[in-house]
A and B are shown apart, each in its own frame.
Chain A
């Protein structure tokens, strides 16, 4: 080997000295930072891929359903008269039109519903050929009055095959349909059953009604001009939209929810980046004399800085690559084993395969690298800026952190907090609470920058205790507030983000609980079907219910849908008896009610979601197409409704019957006569409605079911929160570990002058607990502020639901205790690790 070959090139020597050497010397620090970034990226990738796959599948399903149609004429669930179909089909611009009935049918004997498409097979050949069975198989059977064709997904889900019977619930009766065949594989990937339109109208009790007509236009017809032309001839509450804009509306319904989950996943990445930052700050602090020596030997400031940043970039690349792979696996497994719905119900029952959004993957990969690089860049630049002569001097750790404090001058920090406060007053951007998220980021960052000064002020006020280990601990904290602030900031971030989510979820849950008490005033609730559009109670059945023994009173409610404005999802129309003078009974009003005068249009009460989406206020006069008749109504009040995500309108049932002639209802609230037990009342109702499939539930059962749905909705939220807090606790551990490592010589001196190992442990435990306690208190205050923003800005702008603040003190105290105990344990463990080495060696190390 030649001499030249034996000499390592300069750049490798420097990389060894500045990057690989330190990483290999303390591999646990690098691995922890890498895992934090990987976990953050993995959660982001998994959540995004699952949601993106669901939306893609949703859009694909809508496209497959529309087939070759250029326009979809759609009415509310109650539909419109079938005579409209012939009018549309005769238009010269229309090449083919398919009359359809699209309903979610309740499944007898199950708690679910199945989408039923009634269509004209002869027309479908031209418009939606993929929704027909393969020629020669069961195509002729489709004309049979009891025949139904299932998609393969539906057949698998229901565990049925051709020749079996599918039982639907129509009204309160079970309707049997024969499975005549299956749709070809790949024609429609979701669960659906296809019937002949005439058979569907008859068997689903919708004679003479359609709720959808798909139009295939002649070549060369301007779709938008024709859409406007058609819109003018449609009855009230019926709209014409392109399949693309329908898909966009569908996607927009879940957009805010998806963004919220993305943001929650990014919190984990953010805490991971802070972990990199805090570990780098303290690692560079420990290595400051080595870095100064390299500067003395001639390494330039920029040369030093970029090599230190390389360490963060390497961690970022490795962590992000691992995170993308983990996220991919997690998304795939979730889609395969639990489906595409992450709890909120937007994609319930949707079977989706993983669709890879490469740009999003690349963006999340780069975000991970950028966060890790930024976490390394800030301390790297500060380390490079430090004058070598000062850095070589012992005991300047706190001075070395002075620039961090200069970054966090009151002006900068307060400006960010003020900016965040202002952002909370801004409206959403395209329906998304982006200013709210920006406000949280600004306030969080401002508060973190304020930490060194806050820590210094608070620690200066603390008296020194009598016991020597505690004295030493407090003296250390008082003299090194900036170092303490790094640990405190890590805890503040974890505590505030976790605490704010706890406050928001608890406020939501308690508000939901209170809301359930208000909207469920009766003893028993009876419904024709749990889900779907096909269950109802006839007038005769209503009379049987009212006449049942032990029943004091029964109030009935009809649920329909109402298409008010194109581009917005349909509202739920609730027709029930409401006394306009006391509407708050069973309907929690927000703000002042408006009692319409005699000369004003009849009253309706709108949910706050509907009020937000349609910009309605109490007292407004609005036109609504109830019963296909457009007429004016007065908004008599706005009420809180956590049940219907797209908004709801309550109208007096007497008026509804007058307008529609529809006397059917979906459910009944039942008050028992004094002395009647719940079981006796339910038994009496079942006897009155023998041979029907109604469901009867008590108030307690409904409340428990509602809260269970709520908890399921937030299960993913909790999982993401826990990931963020675990990463945050990693950060605290890294921060303490690095500090303890940098103070081994100090412990050595203490051991020389007679401080026992246990006393050193007590000292560090006291430091850890005090730091964590300060961080937990500051984090709690910040968490309360962020919680208010989540409740009143982000949640309101995302879902249009207001809620009352409820502080979950026990959960918050538990969280604080977990953080304090974790910090204490980490500190003690770090002390043990530091003391396991010989103290003799420690004091002989160069300063």
Chain B
């Protein structure tokens, strides 16, 4: 699916002239973005400005009206639904505001799900799952069900699930929105560190300046498009 010979100078994600309308309303217009390997950015903006829509377009969950989205040289808009799904399965990880763990799977099964979807052998899958649970500090909770976890713990599991396959791109949509400030800070840092350790890139959509501060760069999304604000710390 991905091109066999990656171009070292080419950004991991390239977005050009992206437009998305719902009926007569233009939600996104003229979006341009380059995301390099191992780059981690935050996108901020007012509610309703289209942050989540942008994330969904990048993930291939929705299609733009115009423009292109290329992940490591593969044009998403040229793929059918199955093609985009398989690309997402192999190369992206998702973290949601509401955690979205599958309630009928244990913590370990939730984390191992992307590995299973990508046909990773059982032994390797078990090892990777254990390593990820250790990385997020939940090694002892693998056999528990999500309903027994706190909000912060659930988000740790969600982070572990998003990163267990070491995806090239992690998309996080308000991952700290449902958490108290202390836990939110802890989760934001954990997410950043985990993405860094996995060697992938990340896009964090957030309202939280604290969470955004963990990113390499902050972008502001508005009616005028996507503008880089400043270098983060």
Contact = CB atoms under 8 A, between A and B. Distances in A.
A, B: real partners: yes
A745 B118 CA distance: 22
A754 B103 contact: no
A840 B85 CA distance: 13
Contacts of A750: 102
Contacts of B8: none
A395 B85 contact: no
Contact of B98 (A399, A746, A753, A847): A847
Interface stretch (B54-62, B135-143, B199-207): B54-62
Interface stretch (A119-127, A231-239, A473-481): A473-481
A394 B145 CA distance: 12
A528 B121 CA distance: 83
Interface in A431-486: 468, 471-472, 475-476, 478-480
B103 A749 contact: no
A593 to B, nearest CB: 64
B101 to A, nearest CB: 8
B122 to A, nearest CB: 9
Interface string B69-97: 00000000000011001101110111010
Given A753-B89, A754-B85, A755-B85, A479 B61 contact: no
Contacts of A480: 104
A399 B146 CA distance: 13
Interface in A276-326: none
B56 A397 contact: no
B64 interface: no
Contacts of A840: 52, 56, 61-62
Nearest to B90: A754
Contacts of A393: 147
A677 interface: no
A149 B28 CA distance: 94
A764 B40 CA distance: 37
Contact of B103 (A397, A748, A758, A843): A397
A395 B100 contact: no
A746 B93 CA distance: 16
A839 interface: yes
B210 interface: no
A479 B89 contact: no
A746 B102 CA distance: 7
B114 interface: yes
Given A753-B113, A753-B117, A754-B88, A475 B105 contact: yes
Contacts of B117: 468, 753-755
A683 interface: no
B232 interface: no
A754 B120 CA distance: 14
Contact of A843 (B96, B105, B145): B96
B147 A468 contact: no
B156 interface: no
B56 to A, nearest CB: 5
Contact of A839 (B61, B89, B92, B103): B61
A757 B98 CA distance: 22
Given A396-B147, A745-B100, A468 B116 contact: yes
Interface in B104-133: 104-105, 109, 113-114, 116-118
A753 B94 contact: yes
B161 interface: yes
Contacts of A468: 113, 116-117
Contact of A476 (B61, B88, B89, B104): B104
Nearest to B104: A479
A386 interface: no
A393 B146 CA distance: 11
Contacts of B89: 753-755
| B104, B114, B118 interface centre (most CB from chain A within 10 Å) | B104
A751 interface: yes
A752 interface: yes
Interface in A823-847: 838-840, 843-844, 847
Contacts of B102: 472, 475, 746, 749-750
- Secondary structure of the A contact surface, majority rule: helix
A838 B104 contact: no
A756 interface: yes
A471 B116 contact: yes
A471 B102 CA distance: 13
Nearest to A477: B104
Contacts of B85: 751, 754-757
Interface residues of A, number: 34
Interface string A381-416: 000000000000111111100000000000000000
Interface in B186-202: none
Contact of B104 (A399, A475, A756, A757): A475
B86 A754 contact: yes
Interface string A719-757: 000000000000000000000000001101111111111
A748 B145 CA distance: 20
A661 to B, nearest CB: 85
Interface in B22-75: 52, 56, 59, 61-62
| A399, A476, A751 interface centre (most CB from chain B within 10 Å) | A751
A399 B104 CA distance: 12
A745 B161 CA distance: 17
A505 B169 CA distance: 64
B80 to A, nearest CB: 10
Contacts of A754: 85-86, 88-90, 92, 114, 117-118
A754 B92 CA distance: 9
B62 A758 contact: no
A260 to B, nearest CB: 44
Contacts of B103: 394-395, 397-398, 479, 746
A752 B61 contact: yes
Nearest to B102: A746
A748 B82 CA distance: 15
Contact of A749 (B62, B82, B90, B100): B100
Interface string B204-216: 0000000000000
Contacts of B146: 395
A38 B105 CA distance: 40
A756 B86 contact: yes
A482 to B, nearest CB: 12
A398 B148 CA distance: 13
Contacts of A745: 100
Contacts of A757: 81-82, 85
Interface string B139-183: 000000111000000000000010000000000000000000000
A468 B114 CA distance: 10
Interface in A544-561: none
A751 B161 contact: no
Contact of A479 (B98, B105, B114): B105
A479 B86 contact: no
Interface in A754-789: 754-758
Given A396-B147, A752-B59, A840-B61, A758 B98 contact: no
A750 B145 CA distance: 17
Contacts of A755: 85, 89, 117
A784 to B, nearest CB: 33
| B61, B81, B114 interface centre (most CB from chain A within 10 Å) | B61
B110 to A, nearest CB: 10
A724 B96 CA distance: 46
Contacts of A398: 103-104
Q: Across chains A and B, which 3 residue pairs bring their CB atoms closest together, nearest first?
A: A754-B89, A479-B104, A395-B103
Given A751-B85, A756-B86, A843-B96, 11 more contacts: A468-B117, A475-B109, A752-B96, A754-B85, A754-B86, A754-B89, A754-B118, A758-B82, A838-B61, A840-B62, A844-B52
30 contacts: A393-B147, A394-B98, A395-B147, A396-B147, A398-B103, A468-B116, A471-B116, A472-B105, A472-B113, A476-B104, A479-B103, A479-B104, A479-B105, A746-B103, A748-B100, A749-B96, A749-B102, A752-B59, A753-B88, A753-B94, A753-B113, A753-B114, A754-B85, A754-B86, A754-B89, A754-B117, A755-B89, A756-B81, A838-B61, A847-B98
